Structure 1
Amino acid sequence: MRKPLTKPRKEAAQERSRATVDALIAATARILVREGFDKASTNRIAAVAGVSVGSLYQYFPSKEALVAAVIERHQQDTLRIVRAELAQAANQPIERGVRTLVAMAVKAHRIDPKLHRVLAEQIPRVGKLEKVETFSRENYALFKAYLESHRQEIRAVDLELAAFVCVTSIEALTHTAVLHQEIASGEETEALIDEVTRLVVRYLTG
């Protein structure tokens, strides 16, 4: 079975072209949230965006390419938060730093949570669409760098493996709590952050 094309046909260079691409990406996101992946056709996306299907195909060869663009934009928004919070945590001792990172994960999942849930749960894993996650490989590398800079505070452990265990655990717990509405109040959020922090710190310090 031939894989759908997930790369844009061309980059939007002019302001008008960028506005068209932005409208198409925004329309795709709205349809994914309201109607789901299966209902997101190129005709439907073009209609919601207020552009012709011909204009859509100038930039995107398929709906999968549009979904990939939505994913990329969502991840860029998330990554901005991650980088800022990691920079803040860089010089914090391990318990405080981990708590900062767990709180960051909750915050990141609250960026358009309905869209994130659709992206994580409905999208077929094809090509670029495989990359539906809050934490990219860059984030694993950033967390590993944080652990390296605090080596004296943690037990002897393979840092690459430790970064994988910690980030995957934080991602899974905060994803489920936020996207499935397991936490509804500020107090519940703080309690979750405390418990996940305790889990990760105890793993790291033994």
Structure 2
Amino acid sequence: MPPKPLTKPRKRASQDRSRATVDALIEATARILVKDGFDKASTNRIAEKAGVSVGSLYQYFPSKEALVAAVMVRHRAELMQVVRETVSEFAALPVEEAVPQFIRAAIKAHRVDPKLHCVLAEQTPRTGRLENAEVFNTEAYSIFFAYLEAHRDEIRAVDLQLATFVCMTSIEALTHTAVLHYTDRLSDEAFDALVDEASRLIVRYLSPL
């Protein structure tokens, strides 16, 4: 069995110039992934696209997988910022009002660079550190779990970890597929209808019998 590729950066950029180099490498990796996919990305192409030498690339990243992992970290942060900004708006709302807001936040998050999101979610091989590098990461699960825990009296008796898994997996699957594969065919009204139907699904699942 071949060894798993190294996916951790070699060192952290501490100065403005080195941070600019790292940022350029991460951005170049993202754009190559979108244009050509994971298999056609290479450290030589990434370095050329970023305008730096391959030697400079290897000062910070040991492999293209390490660069892809860095792209994932940055993209996850962008997605989760969208979700965090919404949480404060629905944290105190009852379930039937909060769930549609959370689903809208998930749709909005998936619309952050959707082509890159698609590559990271569907093309990136699960090797090394990338095995658990979900694009829509566990922080979203934690946020939804905390909401359910705070509104325990509104939902039926159910294991909250399991309920969070069921709800978040459903929301992720629906929003991911709609945004990444059907955006060109779905109008704003269709997305509103998707929010309504997905909310009905989640709220009825959570509601006391």
The TM-score by the shorter chain falls in which range?
over 0.9
The answer (yes or no) to whether the contact 1:9–1:58 under 8 Å persists in 2 is yes
* Mapping 1:1-206, distance limit 5 Å: 1-181=2-182, 184-205=186-207, 206=209
Task: Using structure 1 for the length normalisation, give the TM-score.
Answer: 0.97
Runs of 4+ in 1 over 2 A off after TM superposition: 130-135
> In 2 relative to 1, CA 57–134 (structure 1 residues): closer, same or farther, beyond 3 Å?
closer
Residue deviations 1:67-103, cap 9 Å, x none? 0000000001011111121222110110110000000
Structure 1 residue 132: Cα displacement: 4.2
The answer (yes or no) to whether the contact 1:135–1:167 under 8 Å persists in 2 is no
Task: Using structure 2 for the length normalisation, give the TM-score.
Answer: 0.95
Distance 1:105 1:174 in 2: 7
Residue deviations 1:157-191, cap 9 Å, x none? 11111011001100001001110125521101100
The answer (yes or no) to whether the contact 1:119–1:132 under 8 Å persists in 2 is no
Distance 2:135 2:123 in 1: 15
Structure 1 residue 149: Cα displacement: 1.1
RMSD between aligned residues: 1.1
For structure 2, the 5+ residue unaligned runs are none
Distance 1:191 1:10 in 2: 47
Residue deviations 1:31-51, cap 9 Å, x none? 000011111000000000000
Distance 1:39 1:141 in 2: 35
SS in 2 for 1:180: helix
Distance 1:144 1:122 in 2: 29
The answer (yes or no) to whether the contact 2:83–2:109 under 8 Å persists in 1 is yes
Distance 1:55 1:16 in 2: 12
Distance 1:151 1:111 in 2: 32
Distance 1:90 1:130 in 2: 31
For structure 1, the 5+ residue unaligned runs are none
SS in 2 for 1:85: helix
Residue deviations 1:91-129, cap 9 Å, x none? 011011000000011001000000000111110001222
